[in-house]
Amino acid sequence: MLIPEKRIADFEKLGFGLFIHWGLYSQVGKGEWYFYHEEDLEFSEYMKLKDTFTAEDFDAERIARAAKMAGCKYITLTTRHHEGFSLYDTCGLNDFDAPHSPAKRDLIKEFVDACRKYDLIPFFYHTTLDWYREEYKNNFDEYLEYLRKSVEILCTNYGKIGGLWFDGNWDKPDADWKLDELYGTIRKHQPDAMIINNTGLSARGELGHPEIDAVTYEQGRPEPLDRSKMSKYITGEMCYTMNDHWAVGYNDLDYKSTRELIECLCDCRKVGANFLLNIGPSAQGGIIPIQEEFLKTMGRWTDVYGEAIYNGKPYTICDGSKDFILKSGEDDKVLYLFAYDLGRLGSENVVLNGGGGGKDRQFKLLDDAKVKELKWMDNGEVLEFKQDGNNLEVACTGFPYGCNYCVRVAKVTLA
């Protein structure tokens, strides 16, 4: 059986992270791929967005507080997106960065300092494709050295980081990206950092270079990982937007429900993957109010059930049902039972479908486990159950009137 290296095991325990897409494109408010989708826009014109980039609304501490309140354990920020503009001091590699804009600040330093203040782990998103650098098209080897030096700056100037999150190799799938050199630079300066390379929408969950520590799932739901043919233990992470764009889209009103976000967090943990929930700050870096409220709501849920999310590891999945069980990574006598789509208790005059609220649910146990007691984690109510061998039937009561956490979790104590 494959055993995860410490950095991978530690990453899995984080469970829930915040993704942030912010750059020059945010000033336009049409998503992070604005330049690509504007066919008549020359990059020389696009670059002028640097001249109005003040970052006056970017408050790293406010963002860190919002992430902490949501129950996030880490934050992944776009240090440089495909437009090639860096939020960090590129130390002479070019002047297409925040310190050379009207912001006149190293925004990544502010971000890292805020993360440390609020006990969050900073991760760095970094593009591998680049619309700004001519060498990306005309002299790829020269570009790759520029990329490696950029990553080396991030690995040496900001103290210990959680990892690097790369995105863009899918743009040149047949190219030699010289990943040994790039990843070797990370291992040299940040041996405990996670290395993640996004495989994109077209190849969700695929594994690339052997130094990769986590596969990615973009949108949708993650699948259980088959590690039978892997040379080392790899984990998974799913990134997910609140609406339809990663960076701010001022006219994108199609926000997901809190139920969908909570269920997605749970579905990720069901298969052992982390959930990376994205926000897109405003033009100059402020948190969009509705996105901040979503983070507050996620925090209401993690305040109650966080133990199961952070400590839980894959156990059993119910066939034909959303429901599942996680086992505790801290106590072999504890399981966590996740129940979806429970109704509310209350009068049939105000509760849809008569106010019954709950129903018996079927679960599978492993290794001759014997249940001693089940309690809802939100109110401590003891649940009735029947066990026949490894078959467990639980009388899952509905939410009390005035309450609905979307997904309800019971803590199971084994004999």
Of 292, 312, 332, the domain-final residue = 312
What pLDDT score was predicted for residue 205? 44
Of 283, 312, 341, the domain-final residue = 312
Q: Are residues 323 and 283 in the same domain?
A: no
Give the strands of the sheet with 312-317, arranged side by side.
312-317, 324-328, 334-340, 407-414, 371-376
Q: Are residues 265 and 214 in the same domain?
A: yes
What pLDDT score was predicted for residue 346? 65
What residues make up the domain containing 386? Answer: 318-414
What pLDDT score was predicted for residue 204? 43
Q: Are residues 259 and 363 in the same domain?
A: no
Q: Is residue 246 classed as helix, strand or coil in its secondary structure? A: coil
Asked, for residue 329, whether it belongs to a domain, the answer is yes
Count structural domains, the chain.
2
Asked, for residue 304, whether it belongs to a domain, the answer is yes
Q: What is the pLDDT of residues 125-177, one digit of tens each?
A: 999 999 999 999 999 999 999 999 999 999 999 999 999 999 999 999 999 99
Give me the residues of the chain with pLDDT under 70, please: 199-208, 346-347, 349-358
What pLDDT score was predicted for residue 354? 52
Asked, for residue 324, whether it belongs to a domain, the answer is yes
At residue 255, what is the residue type? Y
Asked, for residue 93, whether it belongs to a domain, the answer is yes
Asked, for residue 185, whether it belongs to a domain, the answer is yes
Of 312, 346, 364, the domain-final residue = 312
What pLDDT score was predicted for residue 201? 39
Q: Are residues 251 and 337 in the same domain?
A: no
Q: What is the pLDDT of residues 5-29, one digit of tens each?
A: 999 999 999 999 999 999 999 999 9
What pLDDT score was predicted for residue 349? 66
Identify the CATH number of the domain in which residue 409 sits.
2.60.40.1180
Q: Which of 20, 106, 114, 113 is nearest to 61 (CA)?
A: 114
Write out the E strands in 143-243: 163-167, 194-198, 214-218, 235-240
What pLDDT score was predicted for residue 350? 65
Please name every residue paired with 391 in a beta bridge, in sequence order, or none if there are none.
364, 388
Asked, for residue 1, whether it belongs to a domain, the answer is no
